[in-house]
Amino acid sequence: MRLASLLKYKWCSTHNGYFIRRAMWTMSLFLSIVVVLCFQKLIAFFQPQTSNIFTEAMHYDHRNNATNNSSLLHSAPIALCVLVRIYGPQVPYLTAFALGFLHNSFDYVQIYVINTHRSTDNQLLSRTIDVINRIALRANYITLLNLGKPLDNDYGYTLTDHALNYLYNQYERSPLMCQVIIITNGDTLYSRHLGSKILPLMKAKKDIIAWDFVTRYPQPYLIERMNGGTPFNYEVSDDGTAKHMEVSLETGRVDLGAIAYRLPFLNHYRLNFSYSNRPYIPESDGLFIEKASRLTNTTVLVRQILYIHQ
């Protein structure tokens, strides 16, 4: 009798434990389903908004600058790329040149360097770039592009065209990495006001933005003369160098580094410095600028001196 009672108690305990475990498992499953459903609703709430922002930020027409949401695009960060052509004597300028862009009010800057002359000390150039990146606290703030050996008598334009093609291909893969480009030489310096003056124009999607500059080339016609024999109590020393140039998009009135281009615009036409199948010449930069200016009606000339060609 006691054995029967004991077995009955054991059976009831086991049976009750089974139902308790079953109830706990059912409750856990129910709570898991509720959590999953809530999570899906949360994703559904945010996903269309994220998708729309991405679509609106990426959708534009290279030819007419049409956008789905201009206010959104104008406020979006703009990535500026600076392509620097450099050779031996210009390497010491590079540190001041590159670090100047860190404090120039741009949203994001990426600098690319190409060596345009065989005489350049490549080890010194690499060490200089490493120092700049350490100061900037960015591993690739400035990058040396190895796109081939410099050629003689081409004024560095062969490698400049290679670098442009590199950036065109990069743009087609990753459009947000570089949206505006400045092509310049390594012996130049920019005003700290450059960013504040041209960033609004960059965000307004102007194809070409050019600014006044100080030229390194003599301008004899700008030499100050004594005014009609009127006596002065001072002398004037003026050899016609380091003169202010009002930029104009024509050869002789513009400098390579005095212009920013919208990269989608250049990429659309695949512009480069080669011209009519003839050799590169010293004026290849002016011809490039003239060619680009004929392909757009969204050009702005900024009447401030923002650049010095040393």
Domains in the chain, number = 1
**E strand or H helix at 49, and its extent?**
helix 2-58
| pLDDT tens per residue, range 28-76 | 555 554 444 444 443 344 333 333 333 333 333 333 443 444 454 456 8
Task: Give domain status of residue 142, yes or no.
Answer: yes
Distances (CA, A) of 173 to 35, 54, 67, 75, 166: 38, 16, 20, 23, 11
Task: Give domain status of residue 267, yes or no.
Answer: yes
Task: Give domain status of residue 104, yes or no.
Answer: yes
Provide DSSP, 131-161: HHHHHHT-TTSEEE---SPPPSSSTTHHHHH
Other C-beta atoms closer than 10 Å to the C-beta of 239 total 10
Task: Give domain status of residue 53, yes or no.
Answer: no
Task: Give domain status of residue 52, yes or no.
Answer: no
Q: What angle do CA 57, 302, 265 make, to 5 degrees?
A: 40
- Residue 301 confidence (pLDDT) above 90: yes
Instruction: Give the model's pLDDT for residue 17.
Output: 55
Task: Give domain status of residue 63, yes or no.
Answer: no
Other C-beta atoms closer than 10 Å to the C-beta of 178 total 23
Task: Give domain status of residue 19, yes or no.
Answer: no
What's the rounded mean pLDDT across residues 141-166?
93
Task: Give domain status of residue 16, yes or no.
Answer: no
Instruction: Give the model's pLDDT for residue 215.
Output: 83
- Name the DSSP letter for residue 60: B
What value does the mean pLDDT of the chain take? 79
Q: What is the CATH number of the domain that holds 254?
A: 3.90.550.10
- Residue 6 confidence (pLDDT) above 50: no
Q: Which residue range forms the structural domain that includes residue 243?
A: 70-218+239-309
Quote the CA–CA distance of 9 and 17 in Å, as a whole number: 12
Residue with tokens 């679509």: 55
